[in-house]
Structure 1
Amino acid sequence: MNRPSSRVDSFVQTEINWDKLDKTKFYVVGAGLFTGLTVALYPVSVVKTRLQVASKDVAERNAFSVVKGLLKNDGIPGLYRGFGTVITGAIPARIIFMTALETTKIAAFKLVEPFKFNEPTQAAIANGIGGMTASLFSQAVFVPIDVVSQKLMVQGYSGHATYNGGLDVVRKVIKADGVRGLYRGFGLSVMTYSPSSAAWWASYGSSQRVIWRSLGYDGDSEVAAPSQPKIMLVQACGGIIAGATASLITTPLDTIKTRLQVMGNQEKEKRPSARQVVKNLMGEYGWKGFYRGLGPRFFSMSAWGTSMILTYEYLKRLCATDAE
C-alpha cells in the first residue's frame, strides 16, 4: 500500500498486515488467547442477557442483584451458564472473523486511497468495512451458538424453560421449529452485530490516529518512534472509545434480538414477533426499555474491546514473519 512518507509512519509501523503473518501460528495461538479472554469476561454477558429478558415483576433490577442471585442459587458456575456452547462455536467463528477482517481491511484501504481522505477518515472507512464484512461472514456460525447459549443463560429465570445442557436446547429448538429455529433472530443479529462491528472497528481505527496526532505524530515534526508501552496505551484508549461508541449505537437492537431469541420457545403461538417485542418493551418500560442492560453491555464492549484489541495486536506481533 503506497502511503506518503512522514513521521506518522511511526504509527503505521504498529500495524502488521495480513501478508506478514504466520497464519497457522496466528490461528492456533489466537484460539488460546481469545478463549482465555472469554473465560474472564463471559459473566458480563450472562448478566447483560438476564437484564434484557427479565419481566417487569422480577425483583432483580440491576446488574448487582442479578450477580447476587446467580451466586446465591448456583455459585460461580451460575455465572458461566452456556459457556461450553460458546467456546465450542467461538473458535471457528473467530477464525472466520479474523480472516475476513484482515483481508477486507487491506482491500478497503486500497479502495478508498484514490479519494485522498485524511488518515483518520481513511482508517475509519476501511476498518468499518472490514468489521462489517467480518461480522456478516461469522454470523452463520455465531447465531446458532448465540441462540443456544442465551437460552442456557436465562433457563429457569423469569419464567423461562430449563434444559439439560446445550444439546437438549438444540434438540428442543429443532423439534419445535426445525433447523431454522437455530437461526431465530438472524436478521436482527446481522442488523445488530454488523453495524456494531463496523462502528467498533471504524471508531478504533480513527480514534487511534487522532490520538497519535494529538501526541505529535502528525508528519510535521521529527518525533522518536513510540515505545511499546505508549503503543499499548493508545490501543487501549482506542478500544475504550470504540466500545462506548458501538454499545450506544446498537444496544436497542441487541435487546430486541435477545428477547426474540429466548422467549416463547414452547409453543408457536406464544413466540413473539419483532414487532411484538418492541410493543411489549414500550408498554413495560417506555423508550428506556430498549437500553436495558446498557451498563453491562457498555462495560462488556469496552472491557472486551480493550482486552481483545491489546491481545489481538500482541498476537499479530507474536505471529509476524517480517515485522520491523
Structure 2
Amino acid sequence: MSLRAAEDDPATEIHLPADIDWEMLDKSKFFFLGAALFSGVSGTLYPIVVLKTRQQVMLNNCPCFKMAASIFRSEGWRGFYRGFGTSLMGTIPARSLYMGALEVTKSNVGNVASVRLGLSEASASAIANAAAGVSAAMAAQLVWTPIDVVSQRLMVQGGDKYSGGIDAFRKIVRADGVRGLYRGFGISILTYAPSNAVWWASYSMAHRGIWSGIGCYFCSKSDENVYRPDGKSVVAVQAFSAAMASGASALVTMPLDTIKTRLQVLDGGCGRTLTAVQTVRNLVKEGGLGACYRGLGPRWASMSISATTMITTYEFLKRLSTKNQESFAL
C-alpha cells in the first residue's frame, strides 16, 4: 500500500507494510493464536461489559462509578465476572467465524470493487471493509446470541436465579425452548451488522486519512525520497483510527443495543416475552430518547478499548500468521 504524503514535495510517498489478505495466512496458526489472544482481551474488558449491561436494564439511570461501587460492595470482584466462563466458551468459536468471514469477504469484495468495478483504492477499501463487517457479524451471531443471552442473564440476575451457565442454559430452554436462546437474534443482527459496517468502513477511512494527512510526521525519510514508518507509528495510527471508528459506531447503534439487551434479559411478567415494540415503549416511558442511550459511556469506553486492543492485536496476529514472515516484517 502506498499513500501520498501531504508535504511540499508531491513526489514523496509513504510506504506502509503490505496488506495481508486471506490467501497469505497460515489458517491453523491464525485461528489458534487468535483464540488465545482474543480470550485474553475478552477477560480484560469483561467488567466494563457487565457495567454496560446492568445500566441498560435498570428502570432508573445510575452513574457508572456508582454502579461499579455498588457491585463491588455487594458482590466483590466476582460480581464483575458473572457469566464470564459462559462468555469465554462462546468467544472462541464466535471469533473464529468472525475472523474467517471478515477476511474472506474483504478479499473477495475488494477484488470485485477495484478490478471489475474500477473503483479507486480508497473507495474499494471502504466498501470491502463495510461488507466484511456485515458478513462477519452475521456469521458470529449464530454462535454468539445464545452465549450472549446466557451470560447477560448471569450478569444481571446472577446467583439469585441461576447457579451457573449450565443451570441458566437449562432453565431458559425449559421455559422458552431453543427459541429462548435466540431471543433478540433479529435485533442483534440489526445492531451488530450496521455497527460492524460503520466501524470497519470508518476505520478504513480514518486510517487512510491519517496517513494521507499527517502520516509523513510519523515516518523517517529514506535516500529514495520515500517515507517509511516504524512499527510503533503503524500501531499508534491503527489504535487512533480504531478509537475514532468506535465513537461513530457507538453513537449510531446504541439504541438498538439497549433494546437488544432488554429483550434478552427482561420478561414482560407472568412468563410473557417482551416484543421489540413493547421494549421501545417502556424505554420511552422511563426516560424518552435518553433512556435508549443508558450505558453509552461504558459502551463507548468498551468499544474504544476493545477496538483499539482488537485491531492492534488482530494486525499483529495476521503478521504472526503469514506464510512468509520475512515479506511482512516492519
TM-score under structure 1 length normalisation: 0.91
Match runs of 1:41-52 below 5 Å:
41-52=45-56
**Residue number in structure 2 paired with 1:104:** 105
- Counterpart position of 1:224: 227
Q: Residue 225 of structure 1: CA displacement?
A: 1.7
The residue identity in structure 1 corresponding to 2:194 is P
Structure 2 residue 9 is matched with structure 1 residue 10: no
Structure 1: state its 5+ residue gaps. none
Q: What code does the residue aligned with 2:295 have?
A: G
Q: Quick one: distance in 1 between partners of 2:142 and 2:13?
A: 39
Q: What is the Cα deviation at residue 171 of structure 1?
A: 1.0
Partner of 1:22: 26
- 1:109/1:123 contact within 8 Å kept: yes
What amino acid maps onto 1:89 in structure 2?
Answer: G
Cα deviation for residue 265 of structure 1 reads 7.7
Q: Is the 8 A contact 1:148 1:169 kept in 2?
A: yes
Query: Which residue number in structure 2 is paired with residue 184 of structure 1?
Result: 183
Which residue identity lines up with residue 228 of structure 2 in the other structure?
A
> 1:156: how far off?
5.7
Alpha-carbon displacement from aligned partner over 1:169-217 (angstroms, at most 9, x marks no partner)? 1111111111011000000000001111111111111211111101356
Query: How many angstroms does 1:42 deviate by?
Result: 0.5
Which blocks of at least 5 consecutive residues in structure 2 are unaligned?
5-10, 217-223
| 1:151-175 Cα distance to aligned partner (Å, 9 max, x none) | 0000169xxx621111111111111
**Aligned counterpart, 1:257:** 260
- Give the alignment's Cα RMSD to 1 decimal: 2.2
Match of 1:290 in 2: 292
Runs ≥4 residues deviating over 4 A: 2-9
Distance 1:3 1:64, change over 3 A: closer
Matched-pair identity in %: 45
> Equivalences for 1:263-302 in 2 at 5 Å?
263-264=266-267, 267-269=270-272, 271-302=273-304
**3-state SS of paired residue (1:16):** coil
Match of 1:174 in 2: 173
- For 1:32, which of 14, 31, 36 is the aligned residue? 36
Task: Show the 5 A alignment for 1:20-169.
Answer: 20-56=24-60, 61-113=62-114, 114-155=116-157, 162-169=161-168
Report the equivalent of 1:307: 309
Give the equivalent residue in structure 2 for 1:198.
197
Q: How many residues align?
A: 312
Match of 1:237 among 240, 261, 264: 240
Q: Which amino acid aligns with 1:237?
A: F
Q: Give the C-alpha shift of residue 119 in structure 1.
A: 3.3
Alignment of 1:320 with 2:322, yes or no, is yes
Residues 1:122 and 1:7: Cα distance change in structure 2 (over 3 Å): farther
Tell me the distance in 1 between the aligned counterparts of 2:309 and 2:173.
36
Give the whole-Å Cα distance in 1 for the aligned partners of 2:35 and 2:123.
31
SS in structure 2 at match of 1:75: helix
SS in 2 for 1:225: strand
The whole-number CA distance in structure 2 between the counterparts of 1:252 and 1:3 is: 38
Write the distance in 1 (CA, Å) between the matches of 2:54 and 2:121.
41
Residue by residue over 1:125-160, the C-alpha shift from the partner in whole angstroms, topping out at 9 and shown as x without a partner, is 110100110111111100000100000000169xxx
* Alpha carbons 1:176, 1:267 under 8 Å: kept: no
Q: What amino acid is aligned across from residue 313 of structure 2 in structure 1?
A: T
Tell me if structure 2 keeps the 8 A contact 1:216–1:223. no
Amino acid at match of 2:100: T
Q: Give the match for residue 7 of structure 2.
A: none
